[in-house]
Chains A and B, each alone.
Chain A
């Protein structure tokens, strides 16, 4: 690891200020991606601004029809939150299958969304529910937030503060793990709302997380696995790598969507 200056911020405002005065600063949330990258000498920020201890960015609150999760809330806290589990069990299940226990006790929802790894799980839930990403300066709709591999709508120095999920009637996340990393080779989040169904797919596309709109249309009129039986997923634009080619990933999108619909609760 190259040497770096470490700062601890206790509020989002302080973090933004520290970042703006750093030569080449980086926000440190749970550090589950940034720190291994730095250890491999592939990233060398001049300054690390640690926001993992900012209390105002932690915690889960559930109001009528929505769940708001502080950006520095860990995956383990989401997975183990009793009230959230009764309101929105699919989100707890998703968080409970990210990484391993060590990762889940350090990694945060804000860190995951800021990084926007194309195989991460949280982007599927955020896009699959149409959640709102709040930052120190504004609110961003999920449909505007994800902009490709590791790319988001965040401006330089912008700090995610919380994510607000509309609570669906029924939802489910199906993850097919890449054998080595256990990230999603393909992950599909299906959520049913009064106004319709949303389907978001992670891990599969060269463009990052995306909505499978054909499936959304079919499922909005008939929320059964059979409703998407006639649809096909194009393998063009799907990721081909050591662990599966585009046609395999396209197949998984179809299979996992059907399973998510069947399992949605």
Chain B
């Protein structure tokens, strides 16, 4: 059976994961290991007047207690934001300083002010609790509204009014003119709820300083160890790159939250040098809620205009984005270039204008979380068009259909240039699978049981495979977003692929091997994928934005191309044939039309013995490539959700969920289906269950699983996952990416279904039973 592209082979990595043999950062144990605990601010906004560590320092096992003044005194740099956004008026964004250990002020509950190093974890934690700090509490702005109010507390000196930037994209005048002429305008206020990422494995770091070599090693839970090394070296001045090795071993989920280099990793590396001990820190679940970067948190006003025939003529969007207390690594790009550039959705919209106000608040920093900007865009566009259909009395599928983009490439008014897709084909396939036509009868049957049935769809599009380096550079990105790969064929014919992508649950060890198997016909068990170690892998930009397929695998394809050229040349020489007649299949090298054949290992052996090489050929079989994408890729699809609401309690049950996606080429359908399932689950989580809530004084009210509702299996129906693929035209395998689609397309489908059921479009996420019940009652009151 084929193990190549399109084969649903089982995951190679699952034996170790399912038998408890995975090796995670917290599994690393060093002989001279000490433990770190952080002293964290209990106040959302406070001045640190005095810190008394004397009692804590006298406690059993305490090795050192280090603070922010010592950290900055040693030249450790402030934490950076890697994407410079320019405001409407041409001014750069107003960024406040973020020190790994806060010095004069703390700006959110959980902000670290000191690191305690002790012999045991329990001793470190006990000592951290014994550090006495004289805090002077300051007024708190824990929400967008509070931070933007007159007289709001100033969180950073150099961000007046707490505004980081006031950015825009598109043409305001043309959009206003189009809206002025519109036959109908749909206007909505849309909130995108704040989420906590909750990967199963909490963040962890083991920092190892070797004083003899003046060398550092950091084991950490990272989605991009090379970027971590780059930033730790170039900006945080921990050590130059050749004196710092970063290893991200098995990592148990990230969803974006493990892209960033956090204060804890920086402080542990520095403390390892200060104490000359290996230092381990592992977050507990409470710390994860308090310090892992959150996701989303937008408030938006939007107007969408339609002509007499229902064609969209203009779309104007005004968004406020909450960044929390500090600007995290990718945060500035999320509500701008990862969001507003997708506001055309799957539709032909001639005029779009979007302005975004980025705002500091006294909350945990907010950054990219599964989907990163595209879920916000998709939720906005798909709720707007669904609501418009209801207001216009049109079938929501028909209204979408007359607005679908049908010719490619398609240049939107907001930068993106879509290369491919069949939007109507996808929607029709989903509608058939969902039995859209039979909904009326099912609704009537529900009504007989006293239940309210609703159906909703979303025809999302997103942008993956970030990103063309020159393009993102021109938009302010501080790095290029290519990917690298090296392919080594060993003397015995086995193959190692070193990739800059990082697998933290995605199954790269299997899918990447399948690409090699597809090329040469070798079994995937003879292919090893090496990733996650800056001493092994040449370089890499890591895994996020569904880029490992379209970008990471494209780099592998380029390296395989080079390797294949050399293999053909060598084989032609050994078999005394023309290169054009060499055929590579089933793990053999043959001369077409003859019985001349080389076994796979004979090719490897010949290359490494070097006894008989073509003139000028170097020994060995090792090729590398850097792949810089030509464009973003554009996965799209149609999700349909059918729900039943109990009007007495507001409880919603999802009865059916259909996802029809266009991911371009699919390497392993089983893994892709798993990605879609996980994405839908997270999307349902955002739509119905999850929300980070703060009190006015900046305490997180939802900082445990007692109050933060994660989706569970019994919250979800069986998913009907379908594909309708058009290959991407801008990368060699035709891949579009599948990792985030579920989380992007699901929330609007769910909310459109619930609002259909209850007859009230004014419903915000998460649509909890209490909120649905309240929305039902207010609809009843309005009707009376």
A residues near B, CB below 8 A?
Answer: 1-3, 40-41, 176, 179-181, 183, 185, 242-245, 248, 251-252, 255
Residues of B within 8 Å of A185, CB to CB, are 769
Using A2-B126, A40-B286, A181-B707 as known contacts, say yes or no to A242 and B702 having CB atoms under 8 A apart: yes
Using A40-B286, A181-B706 as known contacts, say yes or no to A248 and B773 having CB atoms under 8 A apart: yes
Closest A-B pairs by Cβ, 7 of them:
A244-B770, A180-B709, A179-B709, A181-B706, A248-B770, A255-B648, A180-B707
- Closest Cβ of chain B to A162, distance in Å, is 29
Whether A181 lies near B705 (C-beta < 8 A) is: yes
Measured between alpha carbons, how far is A1 from B284 in the docked complex, in Å? Answer: 12
Interface size on B, residues (CB 8 A): 25
Residues of B within 8 Å of A251, CB to CB, are 648-649, 773
Measured between alpha carbons, how far is A183 from B707 in the docked complex, in Å? Answer: 10
Q: Does B774 contact A (CB under 8 A)?
A: yes
- Closest Cβ of chain B to A31, distance in Å, is 16
Q: Does B444 contact A (CB under 8 A)?
A: no
Measured between alpha carbons, how far is A251 from B768 in the docked complex, in Å? Answer: 15
B126, B709, B770 — most chain A CB neighbours (10 Å): B770
Residue of B nearest to A245 (CB): B770
Residue of A nearest to B647 (CB): A255
Interface of B is mostly: loop
Residue of B nearest to A255 (CB): B648
Residues of A within 8 Å of B705, CB to CB, are 180-181
Whether A179 lies near B689 (C-beta < 8 A) is: yes
Measured between alpha carbons, how far is A179 from B712 in the docked complex, in Å? Answer: 10
Residues of B within 8 Å of A244, CB to CB, are 768-770
Q: Does B622 contact A (CB under 8 A)?
A: no
Residues of A within 8 Å of B768, CB to CB, are 179, 243-244
Q: Does B693 contact A (CB under 8 A)?
A: yes
Within 8 A of A (CB), among B657-713: 689, 691, 693, 701-702, 705-710
Measured between alpha carbons, how far is A192 from B235 in the docked complex, in Å? Answer: 72
Q: Does B601 contact A (CB under 8 A)?
A: no
Whether A243 lies near B286 (C-beta < 8 A) is: no
Whether A180 lies near B708 (C-beta < 8 A) is: yes
Residues of B within 8 Å of A248, CB to CB, are 650, 769-770, 773-774
Residue of A nearest to B646 (CB): A255
Whether B769 lies near A179 (C-beta < 8 A) is: yes
Residues of A within 8 Å of B723, CB to CB, are none
Measured between alpha carbons, how far is A242 from B707 in the docked complex, in Å? Answer: 8
22 A-B contacts (beta carbon < 8 Å): A40-B286, A41-B125, A41-B129, A176-B649, A179-B689, A179-B709, A179-B768, A180-B689, A180-B706, A180-B707, A180-B708, A180-B709, A181-B705, A183-B706, A242-B691, A242-B707, A243-B707, A243-B770, A248-B774, A251-B649, A251-B773, A255-B648
Residues of A within 8 Å of B177, CB to CB, are none
Residues of B within 8 Å of A255, CB to CB, are 648-649
Q: Does B28 contact A (CB under 8 A)?
A: no
Residues of B within 8 Å of A245, CB to CB, are 770
- Closest Cβ of chain B to A134, distance in Å, is 31
Residues of B within 8 Å of A41, CB to CB, are 125, 129
Whether B122 lies near A3 (C-beta < 8 A) is: yes
Whether A242 lies near B693 (C-beta < 8 A) is: yes
Measured between alpha carbons, how far is A86 from B769 in the docked complex, in Å? Answer: 34
Residues of B within 8 Å of A243, CB to CB, are 707, 768, 770
Can you list, as one digit per residue, whether each of B770-784 has a CB less than 8 Å from chain A (1) or not (0)?
A: 100110000000000
- Closest Cβ of chain A to B37, distance in Å, is 11
Measured between alpha carbons, how far is A181 from B129 in the docked complex, in Å? Answer: 28
Can you list, as one digit per residue, whether each of B642-653 has a CB less than 8 Å from chain A (1) or not (0)?
A: 000000111100
Within 8 A of A (CB), among B738-784: 768-770, 773-774
- Closest Cβ of chain A to B695, distance in Å, is 10
Measured between alpha carbons, how far is A180 from B708 in the docked complex, in Å? Answer: 6
7 further contact pairs, Cβ within 8 A, besides A180-B710, A242-B691, A242-B693:
A2-B122, A176-B651, A179-B768, A180-B705, A181-B705, A181-B706, A244-B769
